[in-house]
Amino acid sequence: MIVLFNRKVEISSILSIIRNKKQSIGFVPTMGALHQGHISLVKKSLLENNITVVSIFVNPTQFNDKNDLQNYPRTLENDIKLLQNLKKTIYIFAPDVQEMYPKEDNRIFELGELANTMEGAHRPGHFNGMWQIVSKLFTVIQPTNAYFGEKDFQQLAIIKYMTQKEKRKIQIIPCEIVREDDGLAMSSRNQRLTKENRLNAPKIYEILTKNAPLFKENPISEVIEQIKNELNNIKNFSVEYVSVVQQDNLEAATTYAPGKLRLFVAVNVGEVRLIDNINI
Ligand code: AMP
């Protein structure tokens, strides 16, 4: 059974009854255009909690690019169907912008060192906007457990930091990246790729996995350059960054440490900006 809520007061009053009964609440925040990556988070939450809440909200304050916000796919009816197919009780929270931002939110957060690199450096304001919305949603839902994908590994790290800083009693549960059969990390943005670019997009993961073993015996900076070159040589690809960082603090890695490093990439494929990462 799907129960759809648009208002904060309505969902929070139902959830407070559940909380009073000492039942657990699992929360999966999303921007909709749901795919099997999102569904894997929902399935995990369903297994681990008495009730699961999925929020669907395209958060304007985390978009540093107006076009990206405008073109972001919005497919609520289809999202509801996908969740219905799971044949479980799921609460959907799908507020409009006015409901989440009744007045302009100018709060600037101290995001910590984690936000200085990669997505933080290349998308000014992105993590501040993300912090605004996730913090608001956490206050409305007050979940026991919240589920985030490693697809957005840096986001996951900042959310863990935020939860500590705001002294929230919420378990942050990381979930593995779900990929298409051809290796492309699932993303709501994939549906905006042209046919030709969609055919080439799996090369991102292919190039990452092919080059990963080289870090063992070569300087990190050289392998990064090699990956950048290979990616930039593909038609319509333009690399924003390739980075190797320590998994626990996201600081740039200088020497190889098996299992402790992660390789990140952001590539513009035609008009569509894609990100991916793997453990090395
Ligand atoms: P989004 O709707 O893109 O904001 O994503 C909502 C949540 O789903 C975030 O925690 C993402 O990291 C996660 N997610 C998105 N794509 C994937 C994927 N391919 N595999 C695992 N998690 C994902």
Q: Which helix (H) or strand (E) holds 135?
A: helix 126-141
Question: Residue 237 has what pLDDT?
Answer: 98
Mean pLDDT across 58-78: 95
41 lines ligand 1 (CB under 6 A): yes
Alpha-carbon dihedral 249, 27, 74, 196, rounded to 10 degrees: 50
Given the CA of residue 31, which atom of ligand 1 is nearest to it?
2
pLDDT in tens, 207-264: 999 999 999 999 999 999 999 999 999 999 999 999 999 999 999 999 999 999 999 9
pLDDT in tens, 178-199: 999 999 999 999 999 999 999 9
Question: Residue 5 has what pLDDT?
Answer: 98
Mean model confidence pLDDT for the chain = 97
Q: Which amino acid is at 51?
A: I
180 lines ligand 1 (CB under 6 A): no
**35 catalytic per annotation:** no
Question: Residue 243 has what pLDDT?
Answer: 98
Q: Which of 35, 38, 122, 126 is catalytic?
A: 38
Label residue 112 by pLDDT band (50, 70, 90): confident
Alpha-carbon dihedral 15, 187, 36, 111, rounded to 10 degrees: -40
Question: Residue 50 has what pLDDT?
Answer: 98
Structure tokens at 208: 């990452």
What proportion of the chain, given as a percentage, has pLDDT over 90? 99
Q: Which of 35, 41, 186, 274 to mutate to test the pocket of ligand 1 (most atoms within 8 A of CB)?
A: 41
Structure tokens at 119: 């997505």
Beta bridge partners of 51: 25
129 lines ligand 1 (CB under 6 A): no
| Inter-residue contact 18 to 51 (CB < 8 Å) | yes
Instruction: Please give the distance, rounded to the nearest whole angstrom, from the Cα atom of residue 37 to the centre of ligand 1.
Output: 6
Query: What residue owns the CA closest to ligand 1's atom 13?
Result: 149
Mean pLDDT across 6-21: 98
Alpha-carbon dihedral 94, 98, 99, 101, rounded to 10 degrees: 110
Instruction: Please give the distance, rounded to the nearest whole angstrom, from the Cα atom of residue 30 to the centre of ligand 1.
Output: 7
Instruction: Please give the distance, rounded to the nearest whole angstrom, from the Cα atom of residue 152 to the centre of ligand 1.
Output: 7
Q: Which of 27, 30, 62, 188 to mutate to test the pocket of ligand 1 (most atoms within 8 A of CB)?
A: 30
Structure tokens at 188: 């709501």
211 lines ligand 1 (CB under 6 A): no
44 lines ligand 1 (CB under 6 A): no
Instruction: Please give the distance, rounded to the nearest whole angstrom, from the Cα atom of residue 40 to the centre of ligand 1.
Output: 9
183 Ramachandran zone, left/alpha/beta (phi>0; psi -120 to 50): left
